Amino acid sequence: MFILSILSDLIRIPPHTFNVPIQEALKNEIHQKYSNKVLANVGLVLSLWDIMDIKEGLLRPGDGASYVEIKFRMVVWKPFIGEIVEGTVNDCTLEGIKVKLEFFDDIFIPQKMLFENCEFKGVEKAWVWKPDEDTELFIDIGEKIRFRVEEEAFFNVKPKTNINNEVEKSSTPPYAIVASCQTDGMGCVSWWD
């Protein structure tokens, strides 16, 4: 689920940070540039782990900053296909269930990837699994749910601006997970405790 990814980049160190030790200045710039961002085919970058290599700083004409080529490792969240994860039900719709984690909320369990004999109850805004004729197990908003990662998708999302030149948030997430709840142990955690 959490991996260390090795990255290389040319990091700009602004002049006002020249009095700060180079390691600290680089850490601050790396966190600002990468933390809580999605890198295509890498995953959701959480934090800097360590700096592996620092090259000599370079200057560019007309810019007072220093540019330093570095190699570093970042902690990245990217669950593998088939991994079992626990989250919280964020929304239930006729199409399926939206799930969130504390730091990620673009997880979707489509209706076709739920247990057999599952039906959506629009009034309760919940999915109900009927394992037999006498039992109804509800999947409600706010419940802890265990699911299996089936697919991941990365999208190239570019910022859009409206008439007033304000940046609008895209409805397409840069990274999304498609999951399933079809085997024993999946579904609401409370069912299996």
What kind and span of H or E run contains 76?
strand 63-77
Tell me the β-bridge partners of 108.
98, 178
Contact 46, 103 (CB under 8 A): yes
Q: Which domains does the chain have, with CATH numbers?
A: 2-77 (3.30.1490.120), 84-192 (2.40.50.140)
Task: Say how far apart CA 156 and CA 106 lie, in whole Å.
Answer: 15
**8 A C-beta contact, residue 66 and residue 18:** yes
CB burial readout 4-15, b (16+ within 10 A) else e = eeebeeebebee
Q: Say if residues 78 and 44 touch (Cβ distance below 8 Å).
A: yes
Contact between 22 and 41 (Cβ < 8 Å): no
pLDDT greater than 90 at residue 145: yes
Q: Output the pLDDT for position 184.
A: 85
Q: Which residue has the tokens 């419940």?
A: 143
pTM for the structure as a whole? 0.80
> Residue holding tokens 């999304």?
176
pLDDT of residue 1: 82
Tens digit of pLDDT for each residue in 63-115? 888 899 999 999 999 999 999 999 999 999 999 999 999 989 899 999 999 98
Indicate the pLDDT class of residue 183, thresholds 50, 70 and 90.
confident
